[in-house]
Amino acid sequence: MDQNLITSADALGMFCRLHMNTKRNLPIRPSEMGVLIFTQKQPTPVTPLMISQFLKITKPSVTSLITALVKNGYLNKEASAVDKRSYTLLITEKGEKLVVNTFDEYYKSIELLKEKMGDEQFIQFIELIQIANSIWDEVE
């Protein structure tokens, strides 16, 4: 196998592990946090399908995440008046507090990267991540 690919995979793996370690104090799983952040940032009520499409995960996976978040008081379900099987999600006060506190920590880690890399390298880094995300999105 190409040694450059091996070295690249190792570097990417290390980056992901270090980034994940910055979120260890969460009372919920990172995937659940993603659902909360997405729900909190939307201007309209959120449906499970919207979460599935945004996070690119299956509807059963979304159902599992929602169930845990509702059970722990971070989200509420609001039944549809039209279709009793459908519902939208509303973030609770407890969920709002968690998102706000977590976002502060998340932005601190991003600010650290920007500060240490400098504006030019940081912009290039983000642009390359966006290109990689687009490539992976096309494959799926």
Length of the chain: 140
User: Which CATH number is 3-139's, of 1.10.3720.10, 3.40.50.2300, 3.40.1260.10, 1.10.10.10?
Assistant: 1.10.10.10
Write down the H helix ranges in the chain: 3-21, 30-41, 48-55, 59-71, 93-117, 119-139
Distance between CA atoms of residues 48 and 61, nearest Å: 10
Q: What is the pLDDT along the chain (140 residues), one digit of tens a residue?
A: 788 888 888 888 888 777 766 655 789 988 899 999 999 999 988 999 999 999 989 999 999 999 999 999 999 999 887 877 889 999 999 999 999 988 877 788 889 999 999 999 999 999 999 999 899 888 86
d(CA 73, CA 55): 21
Number of neighbouring beta carbons within 10 Å of residue 65: 24
Q: Domain coordinates of the chain in residue numbers? A: 3-139
The DSSP result for 92-105, as a single string, is -HHHHHHHHHHHHH
What tokens appear for 72 in the block? 């722990």
